[in-house]
Amino acid sequence: DAKTTQPNSMESNEEEPVHLPCNHSTISGTDYIHWYRQLPSQGPEYVIHGLTSNVNNRMASLAIAEDRKSSTLILHRATLRDAAVYYCILVRQTGANNLFFGTGTRLTVIP
Amino acid sequence: NAGVTQTPKFQVLKTGQSMTLQCAQDMNHEYMSWYRQDPGMGLRLIHYSVGAGITDQGEVPNGYNVSRSTTEDFPLRLLSAAPSQTSVYFCASSYGGQGALYEQYFGPGTRLTVT
């Protein structure tokens, strides 16, 4: 399975935008880019996913590079509730819906 | 909808004991899976199922069994518990077996300690 690389940790001030990067240089044409987050002592929670075009939902935006070798999860206004570990995961279009988690980026939000 | 439920929330076992972790979902999802998460690590896939009667191994299946007799339930059995199986276990489900299009819903987890 294609691998992703994320920074171990990032910090953001409350109510400021946060850009969480993810590199996936070995992505294949049938890989979707999924983001999940895990709040402390909880199970992971789906955030957003995309294939080629940028995507927006109520939680976040996903910006995908034109060559698809990297992507950025954008939280428009960080809140204390956004403090979590964020995972960038490649999911193949065909086959079972299996997620292969790395170690993710731990986001700290400073009040 | 209750979503994905897991029982028990906490469990302590002695080495060699067996037990079953329960997972149920009420969303009529075809796909269900079990993950384990060790301290400071991401989740690792143990077993998964793309529908009733169908199961397959994930990354770390040794020491665990699963079955899927109904759409709703996907129990995980520890055959002979070992200290290396001390972990937090998460169950997840999603609408379809074709992964890329469907988000997964995770349960709250079971924290297992094997002494």
Segment A89-109, tens digit of pLDDT: 998 877 777 888 988 999 999
Q: How does pLDDT run across A38-47, given as a tens digit for each residue?
A: 999 999 999 9
Q: Rounded to the nearest 5 degrees, what angle is found at the Cα of B48, between the Cα atoms of A32 and B113?
A: 115
Nearest to A91 among B50, B99, B109 (CB): B99
Record: contact B109-A93, CB cut-off 8 A = no
Return the pLDDT at B87. Answer: 98
Record: contact B103-A49, CB cut-off 8 A = yes
Mean pLDDT of chain B: 94
Record: contact A101-B42, CB cut-off 8 A = yes
B-facing residues of A in 37-76 (CB < 8 A) are 42-46, 49, 51
One DSSP character per residue, B25-77 reads ESS--SEEEEEEE-TTS-EEEEEEEEETTEEEE-S--TTEEE--SSSSB--EE
Task: Tell me the chain A residues in contact with residue B98 when contact means C-beta distances shorter than 8 Å.
Answer: 93-95, 97
Nearest to A97 among B41, B42, B99 (CB): B99
Mean pLDDT of chain A: 93
User: Is any Cβ of chain B less than 8 angstroms from the Cβ of A91?
Assistant: yes
Return the pLDDT at B1. Answer: 74
Q: How does pLDDT run across B36-56, given as a tens digit for each residue?
A: 999 888 899 999 999 999 999
Interface residues of B toward A, Cβ cutoff 8 Å, are 4, 31, 33, 35, 40-45, 48, 50, 56, 58-59, 90, 92, 94, 96-109
Determine how many CB atoms are found less than 10 A away from the CB of residue B110.
23
Return the pLDDT at A94. Answer: 76
